[in-house]
Amino acid sequence: MVAKVLSGKPVAEAILTEAKMKIEELGFQPCLHIVNATGSKAQDSFIKMKIRACDTVGAKAVIHRIDNPSESEIVSLIEELNKDRDVHGIIVQLPLPENISTLRVLESVDVKKDVDGLHPVNLGRLLAGDETRPTSTAAAVIKMLDAYGINVEGLDVVIVNNSILVGRPLFAMLTSRMATVQVCHVKTKDLKSKTVKAEILISATGVPRLITGEMVSEGVVAIDVGTGFVEGKLTGDFDFESVSQKASAITPVPGGVGPVTVAMLISNLVKCASEAM
């Protein structure tokens, strides 16, 4: 079996086309502010994608790079952005430095400007079944599955990630669609014994090629959300060559979930701007 490659490009383009049309209807330029307190190749890559996506739909992106910040410095900046009526959306690039409370920083973002859907209020709404402001990466995975006609109802899904960015919100969104979901993480014992039972396997650890062909079942749908670098090249969690020989479908890295994640951010930005009118 050779897997069907699920490209994120057409899915992202459809989302961005709709966003552009809605921005034209708004009659003003939505403005996204990105707070970046931890530099990394992966973060820089995604920031560039966000800037390009904003340019594509007629929105504006402003980057705030802060070197070695204190928690109070980040919170103070966010509070200023909250007050600015010309700021329609705020993103805090994660992960933050270890000395900073991610929860406190995310709580400081105005719920109405929370483009990433990571404020505890928006996460709580998602858990309750309200997907009005979903986390962008989790929503991107759902969009990819829907776009390629993959119905999760009744299927066994394994997620290798338990973060608020991916694993936990995806658990909520997939179980609401009647999938049976198991969430794995760095402390999971014998990961292979879990992944090999998955009908849909989603991994987002950032460990390049963590998931090999021997860890998956025949016909699995492999959704790669991981971003790491090997010899300067963006690489996903799946060993693409071996996994694609057994999977029925697989998302590539780059070009899979990543572009859709960025497109979902833009979609959330348009929602924020619409609510600000």
Which residue numbers are catalytic? 50, 93, 116
Is the Cβ–Cβ distance between 232 and 250 less than 8 Å? no
Exposure on the CB side of residue 43, measured as CA atoms within 13 A: 15
Residue 187 CB coordination number (10 Å): 6
Rounded-to-integer distance, Cα 47 and Cα 269, Å:
15
Task: Find the farthest-apart pair of alpha carbons in the chain and give their distance in angstroms, rounded.
Answer: 55
- Partnered with residue 35 across adjacent β-strands are 64, 92
**In this structure, are strands 228-230 and 233-235 parallel, antiparallel, or unpaired?**
antiparallel
- 3-class secondary structure, 200: strand
